[in-house]
């Protein structure tokens, strides 16, 4: 079980790295001048590759987490409300991941209208969710 936990943490940390960095690429894309095709193409290539890689990382992270939850019973039983809250955060993170893919498609199509300031705020969402998830897992407040 400890090996599964360790791998789960490694894949989650790697997935979060992508969730932190992809919106940062969006900030840069939103700031690219209209006549800078080479810069825009390079940033789009980076964003596509990162999105694909972080999607690949998310799958084993989620599978290992399910294995720990369902296979070993971690977080099941009375007094495990923290796990329900953590799972809600995981669902929100999956939605955030999906929204990053939608945003990437809009950038690729050339019809993204949001400013770099909006993406700077959007970039903070996974930080807050990670903070909440870590507190829930470590402190287990309920």
Report the binding-site residues for heme: 8, 86
Return binding residues.
8, 86
Q: Which two tokens stand for residue 39?
A: 């810069």
Token code pair at residue 74:
């971690």
- Cα separation, 123 vs 38, whole angstroms: 24
Under 8 Å between Cβ of 57 and 11:
yes
The length of the chain in residues reads: 142
Residue 2 phi, psi (nearest 5): -65, -35
DSSP state at residue 123: T
Alpha-helix residue ranges (DSSP H) falling in 32-124:
37-66, 81-109, 116-122
Number of H helices, E strands in the chain: 5, 0
């Amino acid at each position: 079980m400890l090996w599964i936990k360790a791998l789960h943490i490694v894949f989650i940390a790697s997935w979060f790295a992508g969730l932190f960095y992809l919106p940062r690429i969006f900030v840069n894309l939103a700031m690219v001048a209209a006549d800078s095709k080479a810069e825009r193409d390079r940033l789009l290539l980076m964003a596509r590759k990162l999105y694909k890689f972080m999607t690949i990382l998310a799958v084993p992270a989620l599978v290992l987490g399910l294995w720990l939850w369902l296979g070993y019973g971690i977080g099941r039983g009375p007094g495990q409300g923290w796990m329900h809250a953590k799972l809600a955060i995981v669902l929100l993170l999956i939605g955030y991941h999906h929204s990053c893919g939608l945003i990437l498609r809009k950038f690729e199509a050339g019809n993204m209208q949001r400013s770099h300031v909006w993406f700077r705020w959007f970039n903070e969402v996974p930080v807050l969710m990670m903070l909440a998830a870590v507190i829930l897992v470590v402190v287990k407040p309920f």
